[in-house]
Amino acid sequence: MNKPLLHSYYWLESAVVKNLGDYLTAIILDALGYRCVNRNYAHPHVVNPGRCLLSVGSIVWNRTFDRMSEPVDVWGAGWRGTPLSPSARARAQFHAVRGPRTAQGLGLSKNIPLGDPALLLPTLKADAVAHHGRTLVIPHFHRSDQIPAKQRCVLTGCDALLAMRVIGAPVRGRRISPRRLHGMVYAWMRQGIPIHTPWQVIHRIAGAGFVLTGSLHGAILAQAYGVPWAAYDDGCVDVPEKWHDWADYLRMRIAFVPNLRAGMDWWYTEGQHGEIRDIAPLLAAFPYRKTEELFFDT
């Protein structure tokens, strides 16, 4: 049976090379029983015609809303520390947001469900995880190739580098030539950057012994799968406000560290005390389907 289609938006949706942190939108919607399609894709089986879902990522900001004119349903996305314009705010319906700073900064109810939808993955898709136990360093998407992988591992003390750059399905109508794709992959390999599918990256994080990450969703996935982690500062921290929003969700204090040793010190003194809140309200807040149907409609 074909999955119903759902208009959604995430960063780099039209690209073949994805940032896993944003592409999790499509992965989570697939686990919920939908196929994520571009907001402009017209089809009689789209369940939210004339609307668009914003789900994963720090995309509750004016630049995102400038790309669209239709009403927007926000479910689990976060802000970047800047308020929405009145026109954008008027088009947004908030069902859940990532953390308390997002809720407070946007003037939302204190009772709005909180949490990143990536936290639902272990519940929605209970795959067996192979615990390899290695320590991983995950640079931010834009900094993956700033330092060769081997050198980054030496500098941080981690066993291996894991990139959030993945090969994913583009939106309908988008193609990339095999020659161009081969060129990108070859450039990554020269830097020692491993090439993985989205689920390979998720499973690598889930089976790790420790994750030192400059990607927020590296931290969120590690937390979801019970893996110790720390926020990695390699000279540039992308949008600190989103990290503080995540830390406030976990009810602990964040620190940005340069290497594995400092990361482990932070984890054992502070990070391990962070706790995922009840995810049932987040799941129940999904705007297009009743929670009960997700588990009993086969």
Alpha carbons 244 and 264: distance in angstroms, whole number: 19
* 14 Cα distance to chain centroid: 17
In the structure, what pLDDT confidence band is assigned to residue 292 with cuts at 50, 70 and 90?
very low
Using N-to-C axis directions, what is the helix angle for 20-31 and 216-224, rounded to 10°?
A: 40
Using N-to-C axis directions, what is the helix angle for 20-31 and 198-206, rounded to 10°?
A: 90
Neighbouring-strand partners of residue 102: none
C-beta separation of 201 from 182 below 8 A = no
Using N-to-C axis directions, what is the helix angle for 216-224 and 198-206, rounded to 10°?
A: 60
DSSP letters along 164-193, please? SEEE-PPPTT----HHHHHHHHHHHHHTT-
The DSSP output letter for 259 is S
Percentage, residues of the chain above pLDDT 90: 75
Confidence check: pLDDT of 194 > 90: no
Q: With a threshold of 0.75, does the pTM exceed it? A: yes
Confidence check: pLDDT of 249 > 80: yes
Contacts for 40-43: CB closer than 8 Å, 24+ residues apart: 41/5, 41/7, 41/171, 41/172, 43/5
> CB under 8 Å to 240, separation ≥6 — which residues?
256
Confidence check: pLDDT of 120 > 50: yes
In the predicted model, what is the mean pLDDT of residues 115-120? 98
Confidence check: pLDDT of 220 > 90: yes
> Could you read off the pLDDT of 51-107 as tens digits, one per residue?
999 999 999 999 999 999 999 999 999 999 999 999 999 999 999 999 999 999 999
DSSP letters along 188-254, please? HHHTT---B-HHHHHHHHHT-SEEEESSHHHHHHHHHTT--EEEE-SS--S-HHHHHHHHHHHTS--
Most confidently modeled range among 194-198, 202-206, 293-297: 202-206
Residue type, 244: H
Instruction: Report which of 269, 273, 252 is spatially closest to residue 261, judged by C-alpha positions.
Output: 269
DSSP letters along 8-39, please? EE-TTTT-SEEEHHHHHHHHHHHHTT-EEEET
